[in-house]
Structure 1
Amino acid sequence: MNNKKIIGRLESIALPDLAIGDLQVRVDTGAKTSSLHVDNIQKVVKKGKPLVKFDIHPDVHNVDKVVSCIAPICDIRKVKSSNGEAEQRYVIETLCELGDEQWMIEISLTDRSDMNYLMLFGREAIGKRFLVDPSKVFINSQTNDEIKV
């Protein structure tokens, strides 16, 4: 247990495969899979492989900025959201960077427009790498930790 890093209830991650850097996420040990707010989700097939196309607005302060992404579908799962409703979601696997750590995580794609953060960082992403200190924010991030939340 001594080799685990501490993360706060909010962190900033990068998803380099999706060309996303400095994405503020809410760490949620109650959520099994991480989830990301995306728009314009479309399933496409290229060379016989199922892919999902989607748009991300990574900067909540500049909604005009749009990053269009395409990723292989690793699964389609029924996910129960915090409001108790279940929905089928596309799940992708992508590289995640937090501090000096890099590893692959699964992310379900959904509409989180009514939530405060574009992404929930779930317990499968946290894995055996981190312990969560809910009294802290942006411990391992480049983001200013003086932001009040």
Structure 2
Amino acid sequence: MKNVSQHVLHPLSVIGWRECISLPELGLNDFAIKVDTGAKTTALHAEDITVFHKEGVKWVRFRPPAMHGSVQQICEFPVFTKRDITNTSGTPETRIVIRTALILAGRKWKIDISLTDRGTMRFPLILGRRALRNKNIVVHPSQSYLVSDKPSFEGSKL
């Protein structure tokens, strides 16, 4: 058996299959997400995804979901990579991936997020297992909001 105690930076955190997170660089704070350990990559609902060049570097412009009646903003990020990802229907598609900060359970770290149309989904973001890897986090499959307050409104019609 592996001795993991020397690699543990944080105590074990147990999160629910639904939690609230923040993506401060996108201006998205305390919104409900679905934790999906069956998904490798985190996916965020985005509209009007456009790739452009800025000083010789590929960037992406998109509109993330508006939260609770706020005005939908436009975000611009450097393109971290493009990745072939199998969507919820089982169809492979190439997606733009950005790298940005996530806040969950009082901790902050960078994650990769693929941009896609999740407008018909209940949650604007699914948090994939790569975002949780090496963070000493486990998911309780029958519990929700173990490390965050339950939002007053949950769902894709934010």
Whole-Å separation in 2 of the counterparts to 1:138 and 1:71: 29
Aligned 8 A contact 2:32 2:151 in 1: no
Distance 1:11 1:26, change over 3 A: same
2-side partners of 1:102 and 1:19: how far apart? 15
Question: Counterpart in 1 of 2:94?
Answer: 88
Instruction: Say if 2:69 is the partner of 1:78.
Output: no
What residue ranges of structure 1 are gaps of 5+ in the alignment?
Answer: none
Report deviation, 1:128.
2.6
Distance 2:78 2:150 in 1: 30
Structure 2, unmatched stretches of 5+, are: 6-10
Aligned to 2:138, which of 131, 134, 138? 131
Equivalent of 2:72 in 66, 70, 74 = 66
Q: Matched residues in 1 for 2:104 and 2:146: separation? A: 10
Q: How does 1:98-117 map to 2 (within 5 A)?
A: 98-117=104-123
- Tell me the amino acid that sits aligned with residue 47 of structure 2: D
Find the structure with the greater CA-based Rg. Answer: 2
Please give the alpha-carbon distance, in whole angstroms, between the structure 1 residues aligned to 2:120 and 2:109.
Answer: 28
Shift, 1:144, TM fit: 4.6
Report the Cα distance in structure 1 between the residues aligned to 2:132 and 2:59, rounded to whole angstroms: 25
The sequence identity of aligned pairs, in percent, is 34
Structure 1 residue 67: deviation in Å? 2.0
Q: Deviations over 1:14-44 (max 9, x none)?
A: 1111111112110000000100000000001
Structure 1 stretches (4+) deviating beyond 2 angstroms? 142-145
Q: Is the 8 A contact 1:22 1:143 kept in 2?
A: no
| CA distance in 2: counterparts of 1:32 and 1:115, whole angstroms | 18
The residue aligned with 2:8 is none
What is the match of residue 30 of structure 1? 38
- Give the Å deviation of 1:89: 0.3
Number of aligned residues: 144
Higher relative strand content: 1
Aligned to 1:43: 51
